[in-house]
Each structure stands twice: as structure tokens, then as C-alpha cells.
Amino acid sequence: AQQKPAVTVLASENKLISQQLQEYLSTDYFRCYTSTDIIGVQVGGIFKNVLAIAAGCIEALQLGVNARSALITRGTLELSRIIEYFGGTPETVMGISGLGDLIATCSSDFSRNWQLGYQLVQSNTNVQWIDTKRGQTEGVRTIQLFYSTIVNESLNLPIMLAIGDVFVNNASPSEVIQYLMKRGLKSEF
């Protein structure tokens, strides 16, 4: 609306329709890209909300830019694993609906999910009360629904598991951060 440069991705199996919509919607300040990976685009757009909650917690705990950078970097790896789990193309995580959306959502205090994470730490109150008061945010419902899958299928998603512990087991953000930092040391990939 402010005509500032922005981008989006349109996902469809029908390349012709995607290209027509791309041409119709693109302007000098709004650029559309296309993708055939519907699942990957959807999964990236859904699960980045969970990580944005963690980013809000990191900000409220005043853990700094390095902590947020680590969350985004390692969160990107986890998003690629989730995309693959659901049958999408893991490389989609490097696009607009993956890394692009993740950076924006984890870096903006306008994000509802980021705000929830921030308020969770600041208010030191029950997360369900905050979320009910605000109207349920996407990230809370997503992690609550996916948490048992992470646990039951032993998926290698330590950040998602930790965030799930906050919303399913009432762990504190500080506790789960300590858990993540004390995990066994390993190679990056």
C-alpha cells in the first residue's frame, strides 16, 4: 500500500496460470515469483510463525543479534527438514516463502507471532492466557498440532521441539534455550 519494494511467491502446479498471475500482479514495487512446490511454499509460510515466537522471546530476554541469527540459521535447516517431511522440495526453504519470510517475521516487531513471544517473556504469565487474549496466533496452533509428530517420530527438529515444550509442557523460554545450548556438540550439517 505504501508502494515500497516487496516480493512474493505464487505456487501452483499450473505454470501457465502462475505466469499469468505473476504478470497481472507484478508492478514497479511489487514483484511476484513463481514456484511449482506448493507444499514447500505452504510449509515455509506456516512454520516460520513458530520460529518468530522464539525470536520474540530472544528479544525480550535481550539475548542479542547473535542469538537471533542462530535461530534464523538453524531454523532454516529445520524448515528444510519439515518441507521434506511433508513431501516438498527442501531447496524451497532458500526462497521467498522460506528464508525470506523467516527473516522478515523473525525481525519484525509487527509480527503477531513475534509479539506473542516477546509478551510471553515480558509478562511472565501463562501462554494460553496471552494467546487467548490476542486471538490465537498461527505459530501456537502449528506447534501444538505438530509437537506429538516431532516426539513420536523422533524428528531431528530440536528448535521446534524446544518451542513445543513451551506451548505443550509449559516450559519457560529460558529453560528451553538452556536445553538447546547444552545439547551434545556436533558438526554443523
For the annotated catalytic residues, the residue numbers are: 48
DSSP 183: S
On whether the CB atoms of residues 134 and 120 are closer than 8 A, the answer is no
Pairwise CA distance, residues 26 & 41, whole Å: 19
CA atoms within 13 A on the CB side of 12: 13
Contacts made by residues 112-115, CB under 8 angstroms, sequence distance 24+: 112/137, 112/138, 113/49, 113/50, 113/52, 113/53, 113/56, 113/137, 113/138, 113/139, 114/52, 114/53, 114/55, 114/56, 114/59, 115/56
Pairwise CA distance, residues 118 & 123, whole Å: 9
How far CA 154 is from CA of 36, 106, 158, 188, in Å, comes to 29, 26, 10, 19
Cell numbers describing residue 184: 551434545
